[in-house]
Amino acid sequence: MSFLDRLARAAAAAAPPLLRRKLVWWAVVLTQPRFLVGVCTVLRSPDGRILLFEHRFWEGGRWGVPSGHLTPGEQAVQAAARELREECGLTPRDLTLAQVETGMRHRVEIWLTGTVDITDAPPVQQLDGREITGAALLPVAEALERMRPEQRAVVQRILDV
């Protein structure tokens, strides 16, 4: 992580919510390509539950699937594995392309599905507290209720529920 990334994250974490949104936006504008490619991953445990994270900087619904941005030259599967490793130390298996979401201004999202070999959500101590404040491993219906509406719609299409 670059010095600018670390500085922006520290400033955003300490700022009031309105200023935080602006700082996060400018950090993205200054450190990311002008067109972002996001990667979102629906990860299921062996018994079918879905892994959700509570994201520190999201507004209007903080719970969603593990997600992040591709770095230049990175493949979607590599980005999804890297983001999960950075956010909670887990390694996904069987990552496959599920869907590509377009129509967002300056962004496209690549959605993947995969599995994680866990029986419980990662504990708070294992999470990257700069970005993630909580984790849950939930049955599909409960996960859909908890996650932010934009992601819920995509996950319902992917899982055909």
Residues in Cβ contact with 110 at an 8 Å cutoff, skipping those fewer than 6 apart: 37, 38, 39, 40, 70, 76, 97, 100
Mean pLDDT of the chain: 89
Which pair of tokens denotes residue 58? 């999201």
Predicted local confidence at residue 32, as pLDDT? 66
DSSP output for 59-85:
-S--EE--EEEPPTT--HHHHHHHHHH
Band the pLDDT of 49: cuts 50, 70, 90.
very high
Give the mean pLDDT of 69-98: 95
CB 109 within 8 A of CB 94: no
Predicted local confidence at residue 147, as pLDDT? 94
Every domain of the chain with CATH number 3.90.79.10 lies at 34-159
Beta strands in the chain (DSSP E): 36-44, 50-55, 63-64, 67-69, 93-104, 107-115, 132-138
CB 122 within 8 A of CB 89: yes
Band the pLDDT of 64: cuts 50, 70, 90.
very high
Tell me how many degrees the CA angle 6-12-18 measures, rounded to the nearest 5. 160
Using a cut of 0.85, tell me whether the model's pTM lies above it. no
Predicted local confidence at residue 113, as pLDDT? 98
pLDDT in tens, 114-141: 999 999 999 999 999 888 999 999 999 9
Predicted local confidence at residue 21, as pLDDT? 76
3-class SS of residue 143: helix
Assess whether pLDDT exceeds 70 at residue 27.
Answer: yes
CA 26 vs CA 11, 12, 19, 22, 142: distances in Å: 11, 10, 11, 6, 34
Assess whether pLDDT exceeds 70 at residue 33.
Answer: no
Does domain 34-159 fall under CATH 3.30.1490.20? My reply is no
